[in-house]
Amino acid sequence: MEEISIGLVGAGTVGGGVVKILHKRKDFFRKKLKLPIKLARIADKQLSLLQDLPTDDAICSADAQDVLQDESINVVIELVGGTTFARKLVIEALERKKHVITANKALIAEYGPEIFECAEKNNVSLYFEAAVGGGMPVIKSIREGLVGNDIFSIKTIINGTCNYILTRMTTEGLPFDTVLKQAQQNGYAEADPALDIGGGDSGHKIAIMASLISGGYVPFNQINIEGITSISKEDIEFACELGYTIKLLGIINKNSEDNELDVRVNPAMLHTDHILASVSDVYNAVLLQGDAVGQILLYGKGAGQMPTASAVISDVLDVSRNIIGGNEIRIPTDHYSSSNMIDLKSINEITSRYYLRFTVKDKPYVLASISSVLGKQNISIASVIQKEGYSDNSVPVIILTHQASEKGIRAALSEIEKTDFIKAKTQMIRIED
Ligand code: NDP
Ligand code: HSE
């Protein structure tokens, strides 16, 4: 073997970064591997993007087939995104016995079993470090560095766009839409930003992490996912006043007493002392707990061109070393199979503390009625705030609860919503201790 030959499909935000690092560190990689890594071909529908990139001797075209049909190429990097064309591309590359590197979390979370089974059948590997946490080595840490542990809990801020939006809304009081536009301009957001703000992107990433720590396949479509679109400026202000900050969290809890995994994405109030509360802007963090190691925190930029390209390049070096060492499937992924599906706990079975913001008429007996319904569901109130200075027609009442069952909270809210003193939908945010 004289070189590792790479074909890149998709030279947009992340692909552009990959081209830059391969060019900049070419000599370093050659020294490390004692073989050159050659970027042989690049395909992107937007050929004009390639003009400003240091493509060296790579043959550039608009057609991904040019990459797939080149028999000299050992490794295909898929950075087009989406699950339609990307799925076909990845399957075809694997069937042509090429190793594949992807940053496409949607593809892995939704079509993981089909893709990993195809890789196994064709005796090649699929690498996906950039799919979770941008520049942070999350996959490598879980699969290799922490392999001696039963990882039983993960709490994570795993979407850069949402964290950027919530941070800017909190610190600068900026409106949601303005900050979302900035996140798009910075290259953080998905092509369809609804995936970010609706929680789907965090859901894809948490599904991948849950599959890795459970040794089975965690189906994305069974995860309870709530995004940040319902979080108002008012909630952010009340949270600050109470000593909390609001973050979009991915949560995995493995309980040894039952076999069901609690996997979910939801906005959460974190006390300002919480280790994740100060993770701001586009930064992500993954707080893991293993039975041997205890707590581990990974922290870094979760999106953007160069941080994500950094993770793709770590896969390029990994696959190159595995090919050179003749150990092409160093880490099997056979657990990622539809015959090995993990049962998830229903959201109704969890317990939590809750922030409840009721919008009510300011009249006698309202607080008493709310607390009576909560009491009937065995929900104990930890604190209550009602402010002066609003119109009699509509005042916010904030209640923080002690630990309560989700089922009880939902039943109580449903009963309270039917009363005539409620003026708008009640806001419920879980509090993570
Ligand atoms: P971009 O949209 O910036 O780049 C994708 C490029 O691929 C575009 O130029 C696009 O052209 C091109 N393309 C699309 N379809 C084809 C095709 N059929 N043939 C050839 N080229 C095609 O996306 P990103 O770089 O931001 O994201 C790429 C992947 O990385 C996604 O899976 C994303 O989820 C993931 N990711 C992104 C991160 C980020 O911070 N941006 C972080 C972590 C992961 P056109 O615009 O014409 O469609
Ligand atoms: N849109 C994603 C984010 C990109 O904002 O985190 C990184 O996966």
pLDDT in tens, 117-149: 999 999 999 999 999 999 999 999 999 999 999
Strand (E) positions, 181-320?
224-225, 244-254, 261-271, 283-290, 294-301
**Among the atoms of ligand 2, which is closest to the Cα of residue 132?**
8
In this predicted structure, what is the pLDDT of residue 431?
98
Same domain, 95 and 223: no
The torsion of the CA quartet 67, 73, 78, 83, rounded to 10 degrees, works out to 70
The token pair at 84 is 């339609």
* Band of residue 367 on the pLDDT scale cut at 50, 70, 90: very high
Pair (160, 261) in one structural domain: yes
Helix axes 26-33, 13-24, angle to 10 degrees: 70
Q: What is the CATH number of the domain that holds 246?
A: 3.30.360.10
HSE-up of residue 259 (Cα within 13 Å, Cβ side): 6
How sure is the predictor about 335, in pLDDT bands with cuts at 50, 70 and 90? confident
- Quick one: 291 and 311 in the same domain? no
Q: Over range 22-30, report the average pLDDT.
A: 98
Give the residue numbers spanning the domain of 407: 348-432
Question: pLDDT class for 366, splitting at 50, 70, 90?
Answer: very high
Same domain assignment for residues 321 and 369:
no
Are 167 and 218 contained in the same domain?
yes
Q: How far is the CA of 364 from the centre of ligand 1 (A)?
A: 57
What's the number of domains the chain is made of?
A: 3
Residues 272, 407: one domain?
Answer: no
Pocket of ligand 1 (CB under 6 A): 9-10, 12-15, 43-46, 49, 64, 79-81, 85, 103-104, 130, 134, 187-188, 190-191, 303-304, 308
Ligand 1 midpoint to CA 14 (Å): 7
Say yes or no: 119 and 47 in one domain.
yes
> Residue 258 has what pLDDT?
67
User: What count of residues does the chain have?
Assistant: 433
Residue nearest to atom 1 of ligand 1 (CA): 12
Q: Taking the model in full, what pTM does it have?
A: 0.96
State if residue 134 touches ligand 2 by the CB under 6 angstroms criterion: yes
> CATH number, domain at 402?
3.30.70.260
Pocket test for ligand 2, best of 105, 158, 159, 281 (most atoms within 8 A of CB): 159
Instruction: Assess whether 145 and 288 both reside in one domain.
Output: yes
If asked whether residues 123 and 142 sit together in one domain, one would say no
Q: Are residues 143 and 292 in the same domain?
A: yes
Among 290, 314, 340, the domain-final residue is 340
CB of 164 shorter than 6 A to ligand 2: no
- Concatenated DSSP letters of 261-299: EEEEEEEEEEETTSTTTT--TTEEEEEEEETTTEEEEEE
Distance 202 CA to ligand 2 centre (A): 8
Ligand 2 contacts CB of residue 160 (under 6 A) = yes
Beta bridge mates, 249: 266
> Looking at the structure, do residues 233 and 217 belong to the same domain, yes or no?
yes
Domain boundary among 289, 314, 340: 340
User: Catalytic pick from 205, 247, 254, 301?
Assistant: 205
Lowest mean pLDDT among 133-142, 157-166, 291-300, 324-333: 324-333
Task: Locate the ligand 1 atom nearest the alpha carbon of residue 14 and give its number.
Answer: 25
* CA–CA distance, 148 with 133 (Å, rounded to integer): 22
pLDDT digits (tens, 9 = 90+) for 171-199: 999 999 999 999 999 999 999 999 999 99
The residue to which tokens 């080595």 are assigned: 137
Which of 318, 340, 362 is the endpoint of a domain?
A: 340
First to last CA, the chain: 54
All residues at 6 or more sequence positions from 227 whose CB lies less than 8 Å from its CB, including other chains: 162, 197, 198, 199, 200, 248, 265, 267
81 pLDDT exceeds 90?
yes
Residues 25 and 123 grouped into a single domain: yes
Please name the residue whose Cα sits nearest to atom 13 of ligand 1. 80
Active site residue 205: yes
Of 60, 134, 49, residue with least CA distance to 305: 134
**pLDDT above 70 for 313:** yes
> For the segment 34-64, what is each residue's pLDDT rounded down to a tens digit?
999 999 999 999 999 999 999 999 999 999 9
What is the position in ligand 1's atom list of the atom closest to the CA of 12? Answer: 4
d(CA 283, CA 302) in angstroms, rounded, equals: 6
Query: Is 80 exceeded by the pLDDT of residue 256?
Result: no
